[in-house]
Copies of this chain bind each other. A is one copy, B any other.
Amino acid sequence: MPLLSNGRLLFNQVPKGYPIPGITTVYDESQTIDLENVPLEGGFLTKLLVISVDPYLRGKMRESGSFSYSDAYIIGEPLYNYGVGVVVRSEHEGVRPGDHINGVFPFQEYIVSRNLDGFEILDNAEKLPWSLYVGVAGMPGRSSYYAWKEYSAARKGDTVFISGGAGPVGSLVVQFAKVDGLKVIASAGTDDKVKFVQSLGADVVFNYKTTNTRDVLAKEGPIDIYWDNVGGEILEAALDNASVGARFIECGMISGYNSPSYHIKNLIQIIARQLKLFGFLGNNPYLNEKYDKDFRQEIPKRLANGELKYNEDFTYGLKNAGQAILDVQTGRNFGKSIVVVSEE
């Protein structure tokens, strides 16, 4: 079989602001692979089908050595994130050709893996689209489900405010909150996104670019729970409109990922209103141990029977992944951003 080019998206340069395709990241076709003969050394060869683009990737595009969420990307090496691939060849006794593998993959068309550490062979009894396993049935879904259960202390009649309501995390949280009997206020960045969040059952949805967040919260609050995906000025508004004892679930602060952080001037409200703030990451092992079983039993079924809604934003081809990464930082994506690397 002839050599194929094995396309990769490489981390090229630490960005100062937004990650620019062709500068921050570059698509590279210089490597080749012989699918039939590449040595597996007891491992398996996977063709990457879909790979996830998430806001947190921006935090990995930094100088190495500085502490953050997780390790920094390495200049000249492929980026990596959650993906789903299909096995092409295998010398591993636990893996068969045709198996679908979920885990953290490099942004690379074909990958040889030595073992299953960190990977899972997807059973997918519900026949969900594979892309869901990096979205609502994967890390973003788990983030939503775990933290809502662990930190919200939601009581029927509570009011929750969710920023980034149209994203994969926010849109699930909207639905969890409605099932729990809450009044849901949500923000999004375009009128189309607002309509989508309304269709999920949220009570009050607004475009934060055209409507003043403080005005909405003053009228519709106070809020008992704030699910924060954006930080900055919106977080400041939430602090001023929280009820005594409110819970703030700190999931993301995207407003500060690509520009200097906003000066939040009212942190004293944490004390004055006796707030609890919970910062967490989707890969928290404690939460995973506690809630993974329930998540697996509950969420794929609810997705399959249409009870839980979701929205996906596909980008086709790894060469366009750099643009998808930028779009997630600027909010141009509408729904879970997925790069479709190869067809099955």
A interface list, Cβ under 8 A from B = 59, 67-69, 231, 235, 240, 250-253, 256, 260-261, 263-281, 284
Contact check: which of B59, B263, B273 meets A279 at CB < 8 Å? B273
Q: Which residue of chain B lies nearest to A286 when distances are taken between CB atoms in the complex?
A: B245
Please tell me if the beta carbons of B260 and A265 are within 8 angstroms of each other in the complex.
Answer: yes
Cβ–Cβ < 8 Å partners of A261 in chain B: 263, 265-268
Please tell me if the beta carbons of A272 and B69 are within 8 angstroms of each other in the complex.
Answer: yes
Please tell me if the beta carbons of B268 and A253 are within 8 angstroms of each other in the complex.
Answer: yes
> A67-B272, A69-B272, A272-B69 given as contacts; is B253 within 8 A of A267 (CB)?
yes
CA of A263 to CA of B267, assembled, Å: 10
> A263-B263, A274-B284, A284-B274 given as contacts; is B279 within 8 A of A256 (CB)?
no
Please tell me if the beta carbons of A68 and B272 are within 8 angstroms of each other in the complex.
Answer: yes
Identical copies in the complex: 2
CA of A155 to CA of B274, assembled, Å: 24
Q: Is the interface of A mostly helix, strand, loop or mixed?
A: loop
CA of A67 to CA of B276, assembled, Å: 18
Least Cβ distance of A64 to chain B in Å? 15
24 pairs, CB–CB < 8 Å, chain A vs chain B? A67-B273, A68-B272, A69-B271, A69-B272, A231-B268, A235-B267, A250-B270, A250-B271, A251-B271, A253-B267, A253-B268, A253-B271, A261-B266, A261-B267, A263-B263, A264-B264, A272-B279, A273-B279, A274-B280, A274-B281, A274-B284, A275-B277, A276-B276, A276-B277
Please tell me if the beta carbons of B270 and A277 are within 8 angstroms of each other in the complex.
Answer: yes
Please tell me if the beta carbons of B267 and A231 are within 8 angstroms of each other in the complex.
Answer: yes
Q: Which residue of chain B lies nearest to A59 when distances are taken between CB atoms in the complex?
A: B272
Residue among A253, A266, A267, A273 with the highest chain B CB neighbour number at 10 A = A267
CA of A273 to CA of B66, assembled, Å: 13
CA of A50 to CA of B73, assembled, Å: 61
Please tell me if the beta carbons of A268 and B280 are within 8 angstroms of each other in the complex.
Answer: no
CA of A271 to CA of B176, assembled, Å: 22
CA of A336 to CA of B279, assembled, Å: 34
Contact check: which of B231, B270, B279 meets A274 at CB < 8 Å? B279
Cβ–Cβ < 8 Å partners of A277 in chain B: 270, 275-277
CA of A251 to CA of B274, assembled, Å: 9
Please tell me if the beta carbons of A280 and B284 are within 8 angstroms of each other in the complex.
Answer: no
